[in-house]
Amino acid sequence: MSTGEAMSIGQSLAAARSDAGLTVDDLSAKTRLRATVIRAIEADDFSLCGGDFYARGHVRTLAGLVGIDPAPLLAEYDATIASSDDGPVASQIYETEATGRAITRTAEKHGPKWGIAAIGATLVGIIIFAAVGLTGGPKKNNTAASPPVVAAPTTPPASVVTPSPSASANTPEITPTPTAPAPTPTTALANDGVHVVMAITTSKCWVSVTGSSGPTDVLYQGVLNPGDTKTFDDPQRISFRLGNAPATDFTVNGVEIGAPQAKSSVTSVSFGPGNPLVAQG
């Protein structure tokens, strides 16, 4: 490359990484990105990122770790590489999520518990505002599927009347009949851990899924289309943040519960082991 020639996004990241004394494997361990993805980005190949939404996030994360300003790199990406598939709402949600994680970490180190709760409530409001564009505005009639009602087994009559040979025709003999035992539930529940199948039904939904290890244990994050299905497993708990909750259908530990009941389209829900119809706390 000749002197004075501007470096590309990947070249800038690679040069800054080298100056910082870091290897690709070092960045992979810090970000949980595969080393092959990082090498592809440094070669200006963003095809492994899974779309503009993730590519921007990876560039921002890598730039922060190697100590350079991500803003010029993101501007170059938007001007030369980005397509129109991911709208500004998805980018805004990513910005909000990243800012929220940073504020939460700071509050956990320096602030009292009530301060953390106040910050969390503020972030929920910001995320709701950011996700309105993704769902086409709040819906007046959100039809969230209610958890299925398990009907109690029909109790047979306590007794039946049979005529007694020794009694008159007008005096029946009452023979007690034992109550039939309740049938064994046919719904299979997971014996260990948490198993969740999430399907998207009517419209697009932005989804963020984390495991029991905390906010850094990201199992999935992105926008799903109607007809998409995702399966998640964790030994203790799986948490979901949904941008369009009424468009989802959940089956948890073998029990179909439909869409989470919520007052707004943007909501959070988590599941632990056992029957999801029983309050899990």
DSSP track, 213-224? T-TT-EEEEEEE
The pLDDT, as a whole number, for residue 10 is: 95
Across 59-68, 148-157, 228-237, least confident range: 148-157
Is the pLDDT at 249 greater than 80, yes or no? yes
Q: Round the average pLDDT of the chain to a whole number and report it.
A: 73
Using CA atoms, how far apart are residues 274 and 256, in angstroms rounded to an integer?
13
Coil/strand/helix, residue 98: helix
Confidence label for 263 from pLDDT (cuts 50, 70 and 90):
confident
Q: Which of 3, 9, 1, 93 is nearest to 59 (CA)?
A: 9
Higher confidence at residue 112 or residue 239? Answer: 239
**pLDDT in the model for residue 174:** 59
pLDDT exceeds 80 at position 57: yes
Helix axes 35-42, 9-19, angle to 10 degrees: 120
Q: Does domain 9-80 have CATH number 1.10.260.40?
A: yes
Mean pLDDT of 207-223: 86
Instruction: Taking residues 43-60, report their average pLDDT.
Output: 94
Question: Where is pLDDT greater, at 31 or 103?
Answer: 31
C-alpha angle 92/96/100, rounded to 5°? 175
pLDDT at 194 (0 to 100): 84
Query: Predicted confidence band at 33 (pLDDT cuts at 50, 70, 90)?
Result: very high
Q: What is the pLDDT of residue 55?
A: 95
The more confidently predicted of residues 173 and 114 is 173
- Alpha-carbon gap, residue 6 to 252, rounded angstroms: 52
Q: Please check whether residue 90 is in contact with residue 133, taking contact to mean a CB–CB distance below 8 angstroms.
A: no
The pLDDT, as a whole number, for residue 176 is 56
Task: Give the count of beta carbons closer than 10 Å to the beta carbon of residue 193.
Answer: 15
pLDDT for 103: 45
Give the lowest-confidence range in 3-17, 167-181, 186-200, 246-260: 167-181
Highest mean pLDDT: which range of 29-33, 91-95, 159-163, 235-239? 29-33
In whole angstroms, give the CA distance from residue 25 to residue 32: 10
Mean pLDDT throughout 16-40? 96
Closest by CA to 234, choosing from 272, 208, 191, is 272
pTM, two decimal places: 0.35
Helix crossing, 24-31 with 52-66: angle to 10°?
A: 110
- 34-43, 132-141, 234-243, 262-271: least confidently modelled range: 132-141
pLDDT of res. 208: 85
Break the chain into its structural domains and give their ranges. Answer: 9-80, 88-151+189-281
Whether residue 65 has pLDDT greater than 80: yes
CB 35 within 8 A of CB 28: yes
Q: Which residue blocks in 111-243 are alpha helix, DSSP H?
A: 113-135
12's enclosing H/E stretch is helix 9-19
Closest CA to 32 of 218, 210, 214: 218
